Structure 1
Amino acid sequence: MTAVTAIRGFIIARHQQDQNHTLQLRYWVRHDAGVSLISIDHQETVFFVCDENVDDIRLICRDLKGWRLKKLSLTDLNYKGVHGLYTRSLRIQREIIERLTRHAIAMMEEDIRPVDRYLMERFIFGGVEVFLQPGLPPKLRPTDYKPSLTVLSVDIETTMRADLIHSIGCYQAIYSPNSDAPNSDAPNSDAISSDSDGGVTQSCLLERVVLMRGVGNNTELIRYFPDERTLLKAWVELVKNIDPDLLIGWNVVGFDFKVLAQRAQALKVPLTIGRDQQPLQVVQSGQGKWYARIEGRNVLDGIDTLKNATFHFESYSLESVAQSLFKRGKLITHPNDRGEEIQRLYREDQPALARYNLEDCKLVWDIFVETRLIEYLIERTRLTGLSLDKVGGSAAAFDFQYLPRLHRHGYVGPEYASGASGLDAPGGFVMESLPGLYRNVLVLDFKSLYPSIIRTFKVDPCGLAEGLKASSDDTGLVPGFNQAVFSQNPSILPTIIEELWAARDQAKKRENKPLSQAIKIIMNAFYGVLGSNVCRFFDQRLAGSITLRGHQILQQTRDEIEQAFGYQVIYGDTDSVFVLLDDACKEEEAADKGNELAVYLNAWWSEQVQSRFGIESHLELEYETHYSRFLMPRMRHSEKGSKKRYAGLLRSTNGDTHMVFKGLENVRSDWTPLARELQSTLYEAVFRDQPYKEYIQMLIKQLRASELDDQLVYRRRLRQPLSDYIRMKPPHVQAALKAEAEQSKYERPVLYQPGMHVSYIMTVNGPEPVEYRRSAIDYEHYIEKQIMPVVDGILCFLDDSFEALTSQQVDLFS
């Protein structure tokens, strides 16, 4: 009997292709001994069509070969019988889908890539065990495995127009799953990384080098190449020698790889950096986003990955993120002069340019380490099956987990966005607020409210299908909203939520923050999948049964607090209620009151759910926060309370206090640093019962004396190309147009693209870009538009005002 070889590893890249008129699936598996390509040949694609359309499909596709229809024992969620439509190649599948689309023939799951379907139907979520036997196709089954990965951070420096590459910086590191601080500092030495769970032991020469176009003596840092062609060829060889699993950078696809691909094409240099020796492909989607395709490797952009992991920064420039995390940044510190300085360094001091280039590479790696982004992506893959480089992907993550279980319950996924619509399915509940300046406000928060509603009330696409076809006297049914009825068995989505919930609790106990964060993001995204009309499982009976139940829960929680305890609820938002304690409550008693409320309400909700529906409650209310002072502001030019905007002095359990701002100027990047600093200082003074009048008056004096000019810069994002702003030109657009006019004078490249921030100052001649300000600053604008609204936002609750503080008139009655 032929021996079987087993490989245990992690799928780091997946590809599919037509080969010899059949479908081939290709999986690159990182394992203890290195990386292996697992090819599975002679596969078929499959999607589903309704039985009623089979005759039309046979007619429409009668001239095509390489496909077949097969009657299946499955139905769609409307109980219609279905056929599987199988093809032997991706080309044939694409042609059939195009034809059926033109004839308005409904298709189900036609968008699921075969390379993904093969894994999802086998419940393979990253970790895989591969069994190889000569003469037989590989067999794959799921396993638990955490990989060590070779990472290469890449950054290029170019001419101002990016039509010539000066240098390519490369910074290699090893990600090891059990290391809190992956080895990234050993200069050109062997790096050993180990994983006690996976048994990984790997040795690799670490590179930190800049490939420079020019003539000079090679050093440990710089290798010189006489022209751009040889520079690119050297970079290809370097990537092959390092053999990275991940290539990372900052806007690495939209700039670095795009320019590399463009210059390589112009010079006819194939960038064969794929593990199959095929060239790099850089493509742009219809929405304008750039993607890099490299066989056997993944490209991770730092900006996209941070956003996907729900990190929030005022600006996502490399300089801003690095300064926020490390208080250090680029080696050229003036962003407005950076392009010119790079050109000067290339002409006059290439070693300095190399240091700048390599430091950018290192900053990217350091950010990945500090925020544990690679660990987050690996954990996300192990939970959802998504590939490491998948951006977003909440719908795909839902599909990967849900569809195989749905199939095993006898159903196929629905046609895209074919669920019920036009029903009442609002967003999260936001309570009318009671504006005021308060003492001792508690915040009670429902832990993962929407997932807990799904879990408690059995909200589930399959459960809805089963519930709607059940007779009214059947047991085990849970009523929803919008005429929805859910069967408790089967219950796919609540079971998935339960599994994820338990996994998150374990992650918290182990203090595995990336895993905990990945689970939180996945669970919270499930409502969006059910409520978005561009998703497969969109159905407002499902979405409404979540959000309307959330409205009901918050309203009833408010009513019970007020009736049972006599406390006033001054605000509520999606999953939280803000409770004002009575005046007699002492600050040191607040936490006890909060915990008492949470215990009572959890027991109350458990009894309510059991008595009304006969099911177990998974609603969990937690005492979250105590604000010793709290401001709920008014809407501007109104007596009504605002929503999603407040500030408070947060008191921790150890007695320490710090300021918290939500939705106010202090946390909005479109307000100037002047207004934000003013709000922070003024509100804290008021909350701590400290004087504030002299501070405001001195601020005005300093402003008019030109002492605060560096705090007057507005930053706003361009939402579309400048040429699209025709009728309405907001201030930041006016400033950007002025900047581009100046750039054009000096034949400099375009400064502003959609998505970029414009920095400008309001002058006596209107908004002007920081780069090209010519006019005097309009200080009265900043007093009226930036200072006055912030001051009056809180002083109105103290019977005071900006006008009263700054009036120069003499009070005749004093």
Structure 2
Amino acid sequence: MIDNFFILDFSYDVVENKPVIYIWAIDKNNDRVVLLEKKFRPYFYVLVDENANIEEIKKEILKLSKSYSPITKVEEVQDKKYFGSPVKVLRIETVIPAYVRVYRDEVTKINGVKNVLEADIRFYMRYAIDNDLKPFYWIEAEIEEAKENNFRVKKVYELKKINRIYEDKMPELKMMAFDIEVYNKYGSPNPRRDPIIIIGVWTKEGGKQFLADKYDDIKAIRDFINFVQTYDPDIIVGYNVNNFDWPYLLERANIRGLKLDVGRRINGEPSQGVYGHYSVTGRLNVDIYGFAQSIQEVKVKTLENVADYLGVLPKEKRSLIEWYDIPKYWDDEKKRDILLKYNMDDAKSAYLLGEVFVPFGIELTKISGLPLDQLSMASVGYRVEWLLMREAFKYNELIPNKEEREYESYEGGLVISPLPGIHEEVTVLDFSSMYPSIMIKYNIGPDTLIKGDCDDCWVSPAGYKFRKEPPGLYKNVLQKLVKERKEVKELMEKTTDEYERRVLDARQRALKIMANAFYGYMGWLGARWYSKEGAEAVTSWGRAIISEAAKMAKEKGFIVVYGDTDSIFVKGKGDVNSLINEISTKFGLEIKIDKVYKRVFFTENKKRYAGLTEDGKIDIVGFEAVRGDWCDLAKQVQINVIELILKTGKVDDAVKYVKSVIFDLRRYNFKIEDLIIWKSIDKNLDEYDVTAPHVVAAKKAAKAGYLISKGVKIGYVIVKGAGKISDRAEPYFMVKEKNKIDVEYYVDKQIIPVAMRILEGFGIKESSLKTGGVDILSFFKK
């Protein structure tokens, strides 16, 4: 029988001492199904010395065979390459995936064996790579209906053969979001002690809540399990659920004698996998928190902050409760509705953020092949690596092992010193994807690096040589990404269907991000295809190009006011289009107008500027407003100072504004939450010798019964009193009265410093902000 299936995910198990791969899918009738692949077997490669006796090594390997998982095949494989060079290699096959690691360690000790490769690739991903299968693609397959069905699916099939893989319209995927609230009266939640009082879920049909019977959460957990089984979502989203909700639910269910049976395999519970994600069998558990890490503008990445920033649920339209107040709202019948709304708003926010991030994540999965639940938590480096692993297989390139490496520094991109002050009508010329373009043009990669003499090589300004032909792994893959993105953008221009346009836009953005990540991956110490030489070569060519482009701009009558890595900022009355054509022709790289600033100002420091674009948008780069651990009021002051200068050009207006903020602070006209300073706890509290303010605040919180663990952010305020500032740092939730706040600390150490980062460049003295106060009569003058 032949049918078509849309792939969602992969998993595997060992059944009766044989591995079975599960392909979770949707058929053409929109039914959820699972395909069983029973023929595929685990294997790995052995790299042998060029002069070694292959037959002797084969015999030694076969002697290692164990009855539970015998070595079923040892064969020499032709045409394999390792870092671009032909090698002599053996392929070793066994039965049980876990035994690959056992045999790897033993085979390494055999004389004549140089290395063991590809023994650390997860079994189901090995199968997906070898068969070029990726989630969210369709397959046409020859199948046979299976009798077994201990799954929550419509049909179970045994997979006989895959005829073709193709792309077609996706079926509608059912998505569900959830969020839990815990009754933690004695500090941070402890699943052995504190019950789950509310589990909120949100779907496209709306919200639903499962409540504890006062403090007994058995019914709430059981109702949640039943809902998931009945609603049968393909995707479950949540915010920080891998770090909190799932492990808490699992332990709490276990304590209450329940099995958190929410997957599509009956009696299967979520389990923690790679990258810290929890796997829900047959469903995609997507933690939106992983995607939110890329939003640099949001420093404290709470659910409400991210939802507010992206506009899916603004703070003013939702209920907000401090986590430590949850028990009070639960115990008070009059306030409980507020808590219920707070939980529902969290579940709804997670769902709406899922609608923002999941389509983009799907496209990244279709490129990298990394399943969506893992992809949401994996770093950009791992996403690139899985793509490279798939492509390496196609080019007969063996996949290198992961290695421990010591940190190595190298020179980065060129930064042309800025011309301080305000500039009008500045054009930013940006090289499109400069580093990927350099990598393609000069065939850069660890497999193309030549360390000896070379007659036909590209030689970088840093002195490294790369062969011109044949193309290396990086060049081959990058060319594919660039070519596909161009094709996708062309399709975008032609389509009139809004849904298709959104899908294509997500696709082209995903392709761009993946391509731009290759340079960073190559210089990442954890990369399998790491190359310090390659990374240095890329930046050296980049510096040379930017330097020469700036020189060409000056020769055409422009003033270069700034330059950074892959862009130059120019002003003047020259012909910009003519300059673009000359630069593009000379270097064979695309350069375009990225934006035009109506007004922009620079300090004397590199990588620190702010500009007002022609459409009224303000860009802020390098100031505390978009980086650093400053309180919200300080950040807002700096943003407002920047806006006043850019929009009016009047520095005096900015000075008056800063004075008015100081005046309000001294009158206690502020919100305590605007003065909170957030800082990460990077190690266990008992490991800290220093008495930094955030450490002192964290220790005070811990002493008061709040569990403060490594990796969390602590929010603190500075209060009045004697002694060092550190000693006066208090957890924000332990300070209720405004008059306890040390206002002068915030004036001297927060407001004035961030304002002066901008104003000192215009000759403003710190004393002019501190003295004179504000003329009260000026408030009445219009």
Identify the TM-score tier after normalising by the shorter chain.
Answer: 0.7 to 0.9
Partner residue of 1:36? 33
Question: Does the Cα contact within 8 Å between 2:321 and 2:342 map onto a contact in 1?
Answer: no
Partner of 2:44: 47
SS of residue in 1 equivalent to 2:233 = coil
1:549 is paired with a residue whose SS is: helix
**Secondary structure of residue in 2 paired with 1:670:** coil
2:707 to 750, 753, 767: 750
**Residue of structure 1 in register with 2:612 after alignment:** 649
Point out the more displaced range, 708-717 or 24-33: 708-717
* Equivalent-residue separation in structure 1 for 2:686 and 2:553 (angstroms): 52
1:400 to partner: Cα distance: 4.2
**Counterparts of 2:140 and 2:290, CA distance in 1:** 32
The two structures have a TM-score, normalised by structure 2, of: 0.83
Q: Of the candidates 197, 208, 218, which is equivalent to residue 166 of structure 1?
A: 197
Which residue identity does 1:382 align to in structure 2?
K
Aligned: 1:75 with 2:35: no
User: In 2, Cα distance between the equivalents of 1:782 and 1:353?
Assistant: 33
Match of 1:112 among 106, 121, 136: 121
Decide whether aligned partners of structure 1 residues 387 and 789 sit closer, same or farther in structure 2, where only a CA change above 3 A counts: same
Relative to structure 1, is the Cα distance of residues 764 and 430 closer, same or farther in structure 2, using a 3 angstrom cutoff? Answer: farther
**In structure 1, C-alpha distance between the alignment counterparts of 2:762 and 2:296, rounded to whole Å:** 37
Q: Once the 2 structures are TM-superposed, how far is the Cα of residue 25 of structure 1 from its aligned partner? A: 1.6
Question: What is the deviation of 1:37?
Answer: 0.9
CA distance in 1, matches of 2:106, 2:297: 44
In the TM superposition, what are the counterparts of 1:155-304 in structure 2 within 5 Å? 155-160=179-184, 161=189, 162=191, 163-172=194-203, 184=204, 186=205, 208-214=207-213, 227-283=216-272, 290-304=276-290
Contact 2:35–2:159 at 8 Å: present in 1 too?
Answer: no
Q: Distance in 1 between matches of 2:171 and 2:379?
A: 22
Whether the aligned pair in 2 keeps the contact of 1:648 and 1:659 (CA below 8 Å) is: yes
The structure-2 alpha-carbon separation of the partners of 1:650 and 1:405, relative to structure 1 and needing over 3 Å to count, comes to closer
* Residue aligned with 2:677, SS: strand
Match of 1:495 among 476, 483, 497: 476
Q: Distance in 1 between matches of 2:661 and 2:336?
A: 45
Deviations 1:181-215 (Å, cap 9, x if unpaired)? xxx2x46xxxxxxxxxxxxxxxxxxxx42222228
> Against the structure 1 CA distance between its residues 139 and 649, is the aligned structure 2 distance closer, same or farther, given a 3 Å change threshold?
closer
CA contact (8 A) 1:561 1:567 kept: yes
Q: TM-score, normalised by structure 1?
A: 0.80
Residues 320-339 of structure 1: pairs in structure 2 closer than 5 A? 320-324=305-309, 325=311, 326-328=313-315, 332-335=319-322, 338-339=325-326
Match of 1:85 among 75, 79, 92: 92
- Deviation track 1:116-160 (CA, whole Å, cap 9, x = no partner) reads 222223333331314224497232532103232111212222211
Amino acid at match of 1:46: Y
Alignment of 1:157-556 (within 5 A): 157-160=181-184, 161=189, 162=191, 163-172=194-203, 184=204, 186=205, 208-214=207-213, 227-283=216-272, 290-307=276-293, 312-324=297-309, 325=311, 326-328=313-315, 332-335=319-322, 338-345=325-332, 353-369=339-355, 371=356, 373-390=357-374, 391-392=377-378, 394-417=380-403, 425-464=410-449, 472-473=454-455, 477-480=457-460, 481-508=462-489, 510=492, 511-512=501-502, 513-556=505-548
The alpha-carbon deviation at position 105 of structure 1 amounts to 6.0
Amino acid at match of 2:360: Y
Q: Residues 252 and 699 (structure 1 numbering): CA distance in 2 closer, same or farther, change over 3 Å?
A: closer
Q: Does 1:799 align with 2:763?
A: yes
Shift of 1:555: 1.7
Report what 2:749 is aligned to: 785
Q: 2:138 matched to which residue of 1?
A: 128
Name the CA distance, whole Å, in 1 between partners of 2:173 and 2:298: 27
Post-superposition offset of 1:311: 6.8
Checking the alignment, whether the CA contact within 8 Å between 2:142 and 2:163 is kept in structure 1 is no
Is the contact between residue 319 and residue 330 of structure 1 (CA under 8 Å) also seen in structure 2? Answer: no
Instruction: Kindly report the root-mean-square deviation, in angstroms, between the aligned alpha carbons of the 2 structures.
Output: 3.3
Residue by residue over 1:43-84, the C-alpha shift from the partner in whole angstroms, topping out at 9 and shown as x without a partner, is: 221222212387679657734331242211123225431111
How many angstroms apart in 2 are the aligned matches of 1:20 and 1:46? 19
* Contact 2:688 2:695 (8 Å CA) reproduced: no
CA change 1:395–1:786 in 2 (3 A) is closer
Cα gap change, 1:685/1:410 in structure 2, threshold over 3 Å: closer, same or farther?
A: closer
Aligned 8 A contact 2:430 2:568 in 1: yes
Tell me, in whole angstroms, the C-alpha distance in 1 between the residues paired with 2:223 and 2:287.
23
| C-alpha deviation, 1:233, in angstroms | 3.0
Distance 1:93 1:166 in 2: 45
SS in 2 for 1:253: coil
Deviates more, 1:406-415 or 1:40-49: 406-415
**Paired amino acid for 2:582:** Y
Counterpart in 2 of 1:565?
556
Q: 1:444 to 1:265 in 2, by over 3 A?
A: same
Question: Structure 1 residues 263 and 662 mapped into 2: Cα distance closer, same or farther (>3 Å)?
Answer: same
Matches of 1:366 and 1:238 in 2, distance apart? 20
In 2, Cα distance between equivalents of 1:544 and 1:389: 34
* Counterparts of 2:688 and 2:202, CA distance in 1: 44
The whole-number CA distance in structure 1 between the counterparts of 2:407 and 2:657 is 54
Structure 1, unmatched stretches of 5+, are 173-183, 188-207, 216-225, 586-591, 606-616, 634-640, 810-814
Q: 1:601 to 1:651 in 2, by over 3 A?
A: same
> Is 2:10 the partner of 1:14?
yes
Structure 2 unpaired stretches of 5+ = 145-157, 493-500, 723-727, 774-782
* SS at structure 1 position matched to 2:539: helix
Shift of 1:341: 3.6
Alignment of 1:605-620 (within 5 A): 605=587, 617=588, 619-620=589-590
- What secondary structure, in the 3-state scheme, does the structure 2 residue paired with 1:728 have? coil
SS across alignment from 2:607: coil
- Give the CA deviation at 1:805: 5.3
- Alpha carbons 2:418, 2:563 under 8 Å: kept: yes
- For residue 677 of structure 1, the aligned residue among 633, 636, 644 is 636
CA distance in 1, matches of 2:383, 2:762: 51
Q: What SS does the aligned partner of 2:243 have? A: helix
Distance 1:566 1:57 in 2: 71
Residue range with higher mean Cα deviation, 446-455 or 227-236 = 227-236
State the distance in 1 between where 2:617 and 2:393 align.
Answer: 52
- When structure 1 is superposed on structure 2, of 706-715 and 125-134 the one drifting more is 706-715
Cα distance between partner residues in 2 of 1:732 and 1:396: 32
The offset of 1:349, in angstroms, is: 6.4
Residues 326-380 of structure 1: CA deviation (Å, up to 9, x unaligned): 32468542426542344325x66666554443332122112222x2x12112111
- SS, match of residue 389 in structure 1: helix
Aligned-pair CA distance for 1:269: 1.5
Does the alignment pair 1:629 with 2:599? yes
Alpha-carbon deviation of 1:413?
2.4
Q: 1:767 to 1:560 in 2, by over 3 A?
A: same
CA–CA distance in structure 2, aligned partners of residues 107 and 784 of structure 1: 60
Q: Distance in 2 between matches of 1:381 and 1:25?
A: 19
Q: Please report how far the alpha carbon of residue 753 of structure 1 lies from its aligned counterpart in structure 2 after TM superposition.
A: 5.0
Q: Is contact 1:674-1:711 (8 Å) kept?
A: no
Could you tell me how far apart the structure 1 residues matched to 2:220 and 2:764 are? 67
